[in-house]
Amino acid sequence: MLAALLLSVLFTPIIKRVAPLVGAVDRPNQRKVHKRAMPRLGGVAIYLSFAISYIGFVQFTDIVATNIGYALLLGGGIIVLTGIIDDIVDLGAKVKVAGQIAAALVTVYFGLRIEDIAVPFTEYTIHFHYLAIPITIFWILAITNAVNLIDGLDGLAAGVSAIAATALLIVSISMGHWMTAFMLVLFIGAVLGFLLFNFYPASIFMGDSGSLFLGYVLASVSLLELKSATMVAFVIPILILAVPISDTVYAMVRRRMNKQSIAEADKNHVHHCLIKFGMTHRNAVLLIYGISAAFALLGILATQVTLWMSILFFIIYLISFGIFAEKIGMVSKEYQPFQQMAQLCKRWFTRTS
């Protein structure tokens, strides 16, 4: 972790100087929070730190390269390259998705895929066969873009990803997946090194090259736990990645209700709503860190408890985040199902009493 962190601390200032020279600058507009032009491409520093430290340990120690390593290096390289081009020339959505699919296919090629699911409370197992490939690609694209969407405040995507990766690291160690744990240690180090420059007030942004890479790594690593799993096993990565996943789901609901395209950007993500709610930039990020850590802890605990407890954790997540989303107005003032349900329950108790 220290090796990857030090490399990230070394590379980030270099990328910070190179980014404006190649036109990779994030300029402020009505949808963004920052007020001045900022260099991006920080994801390049994260990827280089991760890749070089991994290759170094494989070459000069007895650590053996595995499929997960090849997948993250090659697929990660494709997705970082896609992000670099987008950070410089602003690629269209279709081209970006094509790059993400190419990276996802690398993951599938190296055997990381969701192959079957055991149905809870029965002896049945659903085998996906050829459907395993599109299902896996969908999972990778969903998580990758979820992380990309929360990259709206200084240090937010990097911090949330580091928290999620730490939770996945603990789960990997508990299950004896040592090579996965090793990859996650390098990943966390690279992200934390960059976060030193990216936390509020940031001096560099990670850009799509970073947010897409972070999402890709988290999505690919979580596949190891889902390769042959029960339906409840999906609870673990969903809890660990609760904030980006929930933010994406609420964005889709919001845009659908407002009759907007799902791909159309807006300024009502969780971090935007907290700022509108009156929180400072730094406090909004720290609050989301806390929420991410709380749900990540539930995800870790879900690996150690009974099936019913795992389901209970998932229900707690759905209700608590739903109430939180309504309070800060992530969808609309009219869309408040939890508050409406509470009012109905209150009326029912009043009548019966």
Question: Which pLDDT score is estimated for 11?
Answer: 95
Owning domain of residue 260: 2-352
Q: Could you tell me which residues are annotated as the binding site?
A: 148, 208
Query: What is the arrangement of strands in the sheet containing 125-127, beginning at the earlier edge strand?
Result: 125-127, 116-118, 228-230
Q: What is the pLDDT, as a whole number, of residue 34?
A: 56
The residues, any chain, with a CB within 8 Å of residue 186's CB and separated by 6 or more, are: 1, 3, 4, 50, 53, 54, 57
Q: How far is CA 270 from CA 15, 28, 57, 275, in A?
A: 29, 19, 39, 9
Strand partners, 229: 117
pLDDT value of position 231: 59
Maximum distance among all Cα pairs of the chain, rounded to whole angstroms: 74
What is the pLDDT at residue 229? Answer: 54
pLDDT computed for residue 214 by the predictor:
95
Please state, in angstroms and rounded to a whole number, the distance separating the CA atoms of residues 278 and 280. 7
How far apart CA 335 and CA 193 sit, in angstroms, is 40
Any bridge partners for residue 125, and if so which?
Answer: 118
What is the count of structural domains for the chain?
1
pLDDT attached to residue 127: 80
What is the SS3 assignment for the chain?
CHHHHHHHHHHHHHHHHHHHHCCCEECCCCCCCCCCCEECCHHHHHHHHHHHHHHHHHHHCCCCCCHHHHHHHHHHHHHHHHHHHHHHHCCCHHHHHHHHHHHHHHHHHCCCCCCEEECCCCCCEEECHHHHHHHHHHHHHHHHHHHHHCCCCCCHHHHHHHHHHHHHHHHHHHCCCHHHHHHHHHHHHHHHHHHHHHCCCCCCCCHHHHHHHHHHHHHHHHHHHHCEEEHHHHHHHHHHCHHHHHHHHHHHHHHHHCCCCCCCCCCCCHHHHHHHCCCCHHHHHHHHHHHHHHHHHHHHHHCCCCHHHHHHHHHHHHHHHHHHHHHHCCCCCCCCHHHHHHHHHHHHHHHHC
The CA distances from residue 183 to 46, 69, 190, 191, 332, in Å, are 13, 7, 11, 12, 40
Binding residues for Mg(2+), as ranges, are: 148, 208
Which regions in the chain score pLDDT beneath 50?
none
Distances (CA, A) of 55 to 17, 39, 110, 183: 26, 28, 18, 11
Partners of 38 in beta bridges: 26
Instruction: Look at residue 177 in the predicted model and tell me its pLDDT.
Output: 84
What distance in Å separates the CA atoms of residue 43 and residue 210, rounded to the nearest whole number?
A: 3
